[in-house]
Amino acid sequence: MGAVSLCQMTTDKLIAEARKHAKSFGDRGRAGVTLEMVPKVRVLDAVVVHFESDEHEGKIEIFLERETGKFISATLVPKERKKKV
């Protein structure tokens, strides 16, 4: 089954958008890394496999290269903790 590309953005526009999102990490990000420290950029054709439930608040997202299924990254969103009043 062939993949159909739905992406209307150019590679340059995708990189610019990614840079905007990366700014939300702050000056040093969570890992102490800035965009200036990681100048090599590559754009992958990827998918996000999203796991969630109506019964549980936690979520898991797995990012994979579309062509090979190679693991890119994962995100775990734990269920909301109840705040103490």
Between CA 59 and CA 52 the distance in angstroms is 5
- The verdict on pTM exceeding 0.85 is no
Co-location of 48 and 68 in the same domain: yes
Question: pLDDT per position in the chain (85 positions), as tens?
Answer: 455 556 688 999 999 999 998 887 766 656 678 888 889 999 999 999 999 998 888 899 999 999 999 999 999 988 766 666 5
Co-location of 52 and 78 in the same domain: yes
The pLDDT score that the predictor gives to residue 28 is 62
Residue range of the domain that includes 51: 44-85
Q: Are 39 and 25 in contact (CB under 8 A)?
A: no
Co-location of 48 and 34 in the same domain: no
Co-location of 34 and 66 in the same domain: no
Co-location of 85 and 48 in the same domain: yes
Co-location of 36 and 52 in the same domain: no
The pLDDT score that the predictor gives to residue 85 is 58
- The number of domains in the chain is 2
The pLDDT score that the predictor gives to residue 78 is 81
Co-location of 84 and 62 in the same domain: yes
